[in-house]
Amino acid sequence: MAFVIGLALVALMGALHHLSLRALERVSGYDRNQPNLTIQIVFLGLLGIHALEILIWAGAYRILLGWGVGDLTGAYNGTWTDLVYFSGVQFTTLGYTDITALGDIRLIALMEALGGFMVLTWSATYLYSAWQRAFRLVNQSS
């Protein structure tokens, strides 16, 4: 069941990420007169999107731990900061943490790592494409 919960959370994150990128595309505007500003808007937007995704996963861990889906041990003191830290380490696939997942929640943490890797690479591709588009517009107007 934990694996299915993890899959559902990754699917929701993918949908949120897609909608966020669509909104970011509208906000960034690709102004040929200010391509550097466009890229900074995209970069900061992606940072905000990923921070939100990490916070959502931390909230999911809080709920799932309350339901008894597993436990976190080690340096975990039950604080929100600990959950955000654990989520961020999983999301970025950093691989090192002094907080250890026990029980079924390990499968959910695994799925966060997979989903995090997917959206981070998606974002890197998006940023690269935004850079190409912004500076292509500059070169076309020269």
The pLDDT of residue 43 = 97
**Is 72 contained in some domain?**
yes
Domain count within the chain: 1
Whether residue 137 is contained in a domain is answered as no
Which of 116, 43, 54 shows the shortest CA–CA distance to 86? Answer: 54
Taking each helix axis from N to C end, the angle separating 2-28 and 105-141, rounded to the nearest 10 degrees, works out to 20
Structural domain includes residue 123: yes
Query: Quick check: is 96 in a domain?
Result: yes
Q: Which domain holds residue 125?
A: 59-129
pLDDT at 9: 98
pLDDT digits (tens), the chain, 142 positions: 999 999 999 999 999 999 999 999 998 876 677 888 989 999 999 999 999 999 999 999 999 999 999 999 999 999 999 999 999 999 999 878 899 999 999 999 999 999 999 999 999 999 999 998 888 766 766 5
Within 13 Å of residue 72, how many CA atoms lie on the same side as its CB? 24
Tell whether 35 is covered by a domain: no
Closest CA to 83 of 60, 51, 104: 60
pLDDT of residue 138: 64
- Evaluate whether residue 41 is within a structural domain: no
pLDDT of residue 19: 98
